[in-house]
Chains A and B, each alone.
Chain A
């Protein structure tokens, strides 16, 4: 009988039902659930032989490949804590995470000398570990409901990444409230999630939602460039597609024509606001809605979601049952419908604290189980509109202004490929400044800047018009694609 509390046993259900079914599609490899499980047990045995004990932190610094799934489950299986380190991070950032987490082992393919890591290294390839044969571990380490299984690091969209721990008990039940409502039964699906395994979206969708239900998961180790994504869609014909808005934007701009998405029954987006123009472009090209949802590394699961047949562009969706939401003003009182408030959340699966950050924990994990998400939202007829992060708000002419509506407006202009709005100070007062990436063959010059300012002024209240337009080759983004507006402030 599986230990229902240990997240290392997430494959137990599909392993019982269909061990010969394809679990992973990785390049030219098809790995069954039985083969994947064997790799998990092998990893667990290797780590046990290396002296890893329950509660120890074991980092995984790997691209998306079968070995990363084996590593995460193997680590959790023996009661250790799996620490996610994005392989695309600069060395200094990776070093910070390894130090902060106190990892004693790192599972990786790369040379870690530059990381000055003083622990042990378990080297691996894409499919297996670079280690002699060992007897597999068949037993699960008993864990309690509050034991930590996973340590994720926030993407740092507003500052230094923070370690966010999650419990075994949360991982094994993740998806229960929102998956049946939004995705339905995914056990027969083939999933393509271009968000990487090192992040909560990628890890959640591929492992806890996909593999745990018996779905087949397509893995792509490289960057989600349009050509690569279209090739995966064509070759493997997935039925569900998960991606951040930036990827949807790139795909719509590089559309190859034909019926490349004909196998898809559902498209999902998270991680950042989905601009309405991108939703509409995708729908025109594919006939499919993009179901946007709102969640975070701290919440692990989605608490606000759009649903098939009633999705609304520009809206993050409706509250998922089981969660309580309050939108509060600066005075802590709930704001009326339609007004922007700071989103407080209470419900299951929330991170209990920040790792090594007691002050941030106290500021975010509030009394009575409420979590201050730092998100700003407005509620209209039961739908929540995400208005950005509280830290991204600008105080212009005495009014709090979100960058989101200004960015959505600029994106309507034919010359604009992407943009971000952040505060800039002139004479001690704050105004909006816009940072624009133009479409190919479009020059960003004074004339275009003037035109864009006028374009916004014709559509939004004057105080929201950017006083400055700067043209950039690219916007500063985190590894997950979130715009780092705080880096644009001036």
Chain B
């Protein structure tokens, strides 16, 4: 499938991440260093499953650290 960055950023907001955090995300910096925390992450995984139909298992989830990692996984 093809998922754009814009779609991913919207998904992050839908999952509950503050817009102010999403707007300033640097694609290569770990998300956890940019205000996305341990409660946001599972919400993001749930939103990915619900909106894109992609189930990311535990092993794959542990390798998603940045926005670019997420784009690559969703566009695999």
Q: Which of chain B's residues have a CB closer than 8 A to the CB of A397? A: 38-39
- Would you call B14 and A426 a contact (CB within 8 A)? no
- The yes or no answer to B23 lying at the interface (CB within 8 A) is no
Task: Compute the total of residue contacts between A and B using a CB distance below 8 Å.
Answer: 44
- The yes or no answer to A431 lying at the interface (CB within 8 A) is yes
Interface of B is mostly: helix
- The yes or no answer to A133 lying at the interface (CB within 8 A) is no
Interface residues on A, range: 10 to 19
- Would you call B42 and A467 a contact (CB within 8 A)? yes
- Residues 27-52 (chain B) with a chain A CB within 8 angstroms: 37-39, 42-43, 45-46, 50-51
- Would you call A429 and B14 a contact (CB within 8 A)? no
- The yes or no answer to A446 lying at the interface (CB within 8 A) is yes
Given contacts A426-B46, A429-B42, A447-B14, 13 further A-B contacts (CB under 8 A): A397-B38, A424-B46, A427-B42, A427-B45, A446-B50, A450-B13, A450-B14, A450-B16, A463-B39, A467-B16, A467-B39, A467-B42, A468-B50
- Residues 418-464 (chain A) with a chain B CB within 8 angstroms: 424, 426-429, 431, 446-447, 449-450, 453-454, 457, 462-463
- Would you call A465 and B39 a contact (CB within 8 A)? yes
The docked-state distance in angstroms from the alpha carbon of A450 to that of B12 is 10
Q: Which of chain B's residues have a CB closer than 8 A to the CB of A454? A: 16
The docked-state distance in angstroms from the alpha carbon of A428 to that of B14 is 23
The docked-state distance in angstroms from the alpha carbon of A288 to that of B13 is 43
6 interchain pairs (CB within 8 A)?
A: A427-B62, A431-B42, A431-B43, A446-B50, A450-B16, A454-B16
- Would you call B16 and A428 a contact (CB within 8 A)? no
The docked-state distance in angstroms from the alpha carbon of A3 to that of B50 is 65
Max count, chain B CB within 10 A of own CB: residue among A397, A449, A467: A467
The docked-state distance in angstroms from the alpha carbon of A21 to that of B43 is 62
- Would you call B43 and A428 a contact (CB within 8 A)? no
Q: Which of chain B's residues have a CB closer than 8 A to the CB of A446? A: 14, 50-51
Max count, chain A CB within 10 A of own CB: residue among B14, B16, B50: B16
The docked-state distance in angstroms from the alpha carbon of A187 to that of B61 is 66
- Would you call A431 and B39 a contact (CB within 8 A)? yes
Top 4 A-B pairs, shortest CB-CB distance: A426-B42, A467-B43, A453-B16, A468-B46
Q: How far is the CB of A158 from chain B (nearest CB, A)?
A: 25
The docked-state distance in angstroms from the alpha carbon of A315 to that of B42 is 33
The docked-state distance in angstroms from the alpha carbon of A431 to that of B37 is 13
The docked-state distance in angstroms from the alpha carbon of A397 to that of B46 is 17
Query: Interface of A with B (CB < 8 Å)?
Result: 397, 424, 426-429, 431, 446-447, 449-450, 453-454, 457, 462-463, 465, 467-468
**Which one of A428, A431, A450, A457 lies within 8 Å of B58 (CB-CB)?**
A428
The docked-state distance in angstroms from the alpha carbon of A357 to that of B16 is 46
**Which one of A431, A449, A462, A463 lies within 8 Å of B14 (CB-CB)?**
A449
The docked-state distance in angstroms from the alpha carbon of A41 to that of B23 is 78
The docked-state distance in angstroms from the alpha carbon of A13 to that of B56 is 69
Q: Which of chain A's residues have a CB closer than 8 A to the CB of B39? A: 397, 431, 462-463, 465, 467
The docked-state distance in angstroms from the alpha carbon of A144 to that of B15 is 63
The docked-state distance in angstroms from the alpha carbon of A465 to that of B15 is 11
Q: How far is the CB of B37 from chain A (nearest CB, A)?
A: 7
The docked-state distance in angstroms from the alpha carbon of A329 to that of B43 is 31
The docked-state distance in angstroms from the alpha carbon of A245 to that of B42 is 33
Max count, chain B CB within 10 A of own CB: residue among A427, A428, A431, A463: A427
Q: How far is the CB of B33 from chain A (nearest CB, A)?
A: 17
Contact flag A426-B45 (CB < 8 Å), given A462-B39, A463-B39: yes
With both beta carbons as reference points, the residue of chain B lying nearest to A457 in the complex is identified as: B16
The docked-state distance in angstroms from the alpha carbon of A210 to that of B13 is 55
The docked-state distance in angstroms from the alpha carbon of A428 to that of B58 is 8
The docked-state distance in angstroms from the alpha carbon of A453 to that of B46 is 13
The docked-state distance in angstroms from the alpha carbon of A468 to that of B49 is 11
The docked-state distance in angstroms from the alpha carbon of A431 to that of B14 is 17
The docked-state distance in angstroms from the alpha carbon of A427 to that of B45 is 9
Max count, chain B CB within 10 A of own CB: residue among A428, A446, A447, A465: A446
Q: How far is the CB of B14 from chain A (nearest CB, A)?
A: 5
The docked-state distance in angstroms from the alpha carbon of A463 to that of B40 is 9
Q: How far is the CB of A432 from chain B (nearest CB, A)?
A: 9
- Residues 10-26 (chain B) with a chain A CB within 8 angstroms: 13-16
Q: Which of chain B's residues have a CB closer than 8 A to the CB of A468? A: 43, 46, 50
The docked-state distance in angstroms from the alpha carbon of A429 to that of B41 is 11
Q: Which of chain B's residues have a CB closer than 8 A to the CB of A463? A: 39
Q: Which of chain A's residues have a CB closer than 8 A to the CB of B37? A: 462
The docked-state distance in angstroms from the alpha carbon of A431 to that of B46 is 11
With both beta carbons as reference points, the residue of chain A lying nearest to B42 in the complex is identified as: A426
Q: How far is the CB of A463 from chain B (nearest CB, A)?
A: 6
Max count, chain A CB within 10 A of own CB: residue among B13, B45, B46: B46
- Would you call A453 and B42 a contact (CB within 8 A)? no
With both beta carbons as reference points, the residue of chain A lying nearest to B58 in the complex is identified as: A427
- Would you call A453 and B43 a contact (CB within 8 A)? yes
Q: Which of chain B's residues have a CB closer than 8 A to the CB of A424? A: 46
With both beta carbons as reference points, the residue of chain A lying nearest to B18 in the complex is identified as: A454
Q: Which of chain A's residues have a CB closer than 8 A to the CB of B43? A: 431, 453, 467-468
The docked-state distance in angstroms from the alpha carbon of A169 to that of B45 is 57
Q: How far is the CB of A396 from chain B (nearest CB, A)?
A: 8
